[in-house]
Chain A
Amino acid sequence: MKRSLFSVAVLGFVLAFLYVPILLVVVYGFIPNGITMSFFDAHGDFTGFTTKWYGQIFSGSRSVEALLDSFWLSLTIAGLATLVSSVIGTTSALALHRWRGRLQSIHHALVYTPLIMPDILIGISLLMLFVATKVDCGFWTILIAHVTFCVSYVVMTVLARLQDFDDRITEAAYDLGAGPWYAFFHVELPILLPGIVAGGLLAFTLSIDDVVITSFVNGAGTNTFPTYVSSMTKHSRNLPSVFALSTLMLLFTCALVGISKLLTVNSQPKNKGK
């Protein structure tokens, strides 16, 4: 097979382009001076690496208290948003898969349009809703916003799984005397679970990373990890702690991806033997 050198070179360049900032995130977590963000002091001498930012994170020291608080808030909101949007998204996908008609075409439009709208429009329109109804922004408004933009992604993922779903299995369950609830929880749900988990994971990553929508609906004083980081970039002497925490998150997600890869590799032969 003939391979074009040019395209491989571009691919190499792009991979470097994508990874250099990630590498820097890791390196910046070891910078001793958090104000100048440089490894060199005023005389131009190398100051070496430090692990003090990691120490601060693990000991929960005062200087990183607000950062850690925002991180826990992000985790809480992402967890709850994942839960709610997985439930709503799954019922929505079931409805879209099972029925056709006017109700479902409106439903379909409602689910798809948020996917093609820039985040900021979802943020501003929710802010307008809260302004019009005079609701104070805070934890609950953030949660509502996150569920709203996550639902559509869950629906897409579960729908993809439903496409391979053999409806005759459900019919068979009914013929064997199962009620609708029993059939759903014992037949459909276990088959759909991988799709729901994938959708939930997507929702979790979207929610924990969102800064645009959150910055519209967070109100004063409530900060998730991304909004807190973007507010501390202007004047803070603790910036390396942000990078240290991000490195830890990166390690954690890499481990998670690795484990899930191992699990899927191990379960592959079982699927093949059908």
Chain B
Amino acid sequence: MNNPLRTKRAEWLVTLPSFLWLALFFAVPAVIVLAFTFHGHDASGGVGAWGMETWRELVDPDYPAIVWNTLRISFEVTLWSIVLALPCAYAIARMNSKWRGIVAGAIMLPFWTSFVVRVFAWKAMLHPDGWLQACYLVLLRTRAWLFDWLPGFVQQFLIWIGMASAGPVDPASSTILDSEAAVVLVSVYTFLPFAIMPIYTAAEKFDFALLEAARDLGAKNFYAFRKIFIPGVRQGLVSAVLMVFIPAIGSYVIPQMLGGTDCVLIGNKIFMRAIQNRNIPHASALATLMAASVLVPIACAMWWKRRQDARDRRRLEQQTAKLIVAGVGR
């Protein structure tokens, strides 16, 4: 090939700007963070000598609870987002192409206002005198009533994992603002479009005649939706889960502005340690933990996708083999 741009020198020349930039400002900082976790900290806010003390201090009763809270809340946010996104994506995909464009645009449009301003509008909406607070109290009372009906060991378990608390609802101390519920609500609000879009993209390619066929064969609507539609859009579903779960794990502004003192997540703790307390090694260790909690689900998703692909390929091979055998037999 006589293309003058395909030489090794040209490759380096074109690759270098982004390669150097990202190596210097993304890869090197990541290594520095990891290195800092193997240092102690000194009282003046600096980084102390090498040692394992930071990792030993991480068992501090505070941290495991915060990591668990972050994972649990991210899981809740992901669940709600997917539950709401699935019917939305389905509804949009079934519209005609003109409406599809309009509604899909309308879902992304809120992103053209500042994120902080939107969160702040929520803060005003969740004011203790507002109607959302009244709704929240009704919800809490219903939940307390349902909780009383549960068997004792289930109650104990729910209290243990932090999903419920015993006792009657006290309206004065149960404000939705500065609570975990506010964080979940506004996180779902923020991340929902990121859940709808990938599922919608997958649903657009889905062949809806399959659903009609399932109904003709006697399947109920919901059964067909669960058994045909959901597996049909599973690729979009996996990216939707990641698109919500990852930013939810890294969430920091929403719990900061709406979570009060009740709801402190890893992100807030990192900020606190890095900026306010100047405890650089602790902040680094927490950041490492957060990176791990993001990379594990991604690795799982990749492993799952590879397994699915392999299974699809095997099925195709078997079918081809059968066809060949049938062909030879004839």
Minimum CB distance partner of A25 in chain B: B121
Say yes or no for B230: interface residue by CB 8 A criterion: no
Instruction: Tell me the count of chain B residues lying within 8 A, CB to CB, of chain A.
Output: 83
In the assembled complex, the Cα of A257 lies from the Cα of B109 at a distance in Å of: 10
Say yes or no for A263: interface residue by CB 8 A criterion: no
**Contact status of A171 and B3, CB under 8 A, knowing A10-B84, A129-B28:** yes
| A120 with B84: CB separation less than 8 A | no
| B26 with A174: CB separation less than 8 A | no
Minimum CB distance partner of A229 in chain B: B116
Most buried by B among A10, A21, A209, A242: A21
Stretch at the interface among A46-54, A56-64, A83-91, A189-197: A83-91
Q: Which of B88, B94, B109 contacts A1 (CB 8 A)?
A: B94
| A242 with B120: CB separation less than 8 A | yes
| A95 with B124: CB separation less than 8 A | no
Stretch at the interface among B149-157, B159-167, B279-287, B305-313: B279-287
A99 to chain B, nearest CB (A): 5
A198 to chain B, nearest CB (A): 14
Provide the residues of chain A in CB contact with B64, threshold 8 Å.
Answer: none
Provide the residues of chain A in CB contact with B123, threshold 8 Å.
Answer: 233
Say yes or no for B91: interface residue by CB 8 A criterion: yes
Map CB proximity to A onto B1-40 as digits: 1 under 8 Å, 0 otherwise: 0111110001110110111011101111110110010000
Q: Which of A4, A21, A180 contacts B125 (CB 8 A)?
A: A21
Minimum CB distance partner of B2 in chain A: A174
B92 to chain A, nearest CB (A): 7
**Contact status of A124 and B270, CB under 8 A, knowing A3-B94, A116-B298, A253-B112:** yes
Provide the residues of chain B in CB contact with A176, threshold 8 Å.
Answer: none
Say yes or no for A28: interface residue by CB 8 A criterion: yes
| B113 with A246: CB separation less than 8 A | yes
Say yes or no for B219: interface residue by CB 8 A criterion: no
Minimum CB distance partner of B222 in chain A: A6
Provide the residues of chain B in CB contact with A171, threshold 8 Å.
Answer: 3
Provide the residues of chain B in CB contact with A107, threshold 8 Å.
Answer: 15, 18-19
Say yes or no for B304: interface residue by CB 8 A criterion: no
**Contact status of A229 and B32, CB under 8 A, knowing A19-B110, A120-B270, A121-B250:** no
Stretch at the interface among B133-141, B169-177, B241-249, B318-326: B241-249
A171 to chain B, nearest CB (A): 7
| A25 with B29: CB separation less than 8 A | no
Provide the residues of chain B in CB contact with A94, threshold 8 Å.
Answer: 14
| A129 with B32: CB separation less than 8 A | yes
| A22 with B110: CB separation less than 8 A | yes
Provide the residues of chain A in CB contact with B271, threshold 8 Å.
Answer: 120, 215-216
Q: Which residue numbers of B lie inside 8 Å of A, CB to CB? A: 2-6, 10-12, 14-15, 17-19, 21-23, 25-30, 32-33, 36, 47, 84, 87-88, 90-92, 94, 103, 106-107, 109-118, 120-125, 189, 192-193, 196, 208, 212, 221, 225, 242, 246-247, 249-253, 256-257, 267, 270-271, 274-275, 280, 283-284, 287, 290-291, 294, 298
16 further contact pairs, Cβ within 8 A, besides A103-B11, A233-B123:
A10-B87, A11-B88, A11-B91, A11-B103, A17-B189, A18-B189, A20-B125, A24-B124, A98-B5, A103-B12, A113-B26, A126-B25, A129-B29, A131-B47, A216-B274, A249-B113
Contact sample, A vs B, 30 pairs, CB 8 Å cutoff:
A4-B94, A6-B87, A7-B90, A10-B91, A14-B107, A18-B106, A21-B121, A91-B17, A98-B5, A107-B15, A107-B19, A110-B18, A110-B22, A110-B23, A113-B26, A128-B284, A129-B29, A147-B21, A151-B18, A180-B10, A209-B111, A209-B114, A212-B252, A215-B271, A226-B116, A229-B114, A233-B123, A242-B117, A246-B117, A257-B109
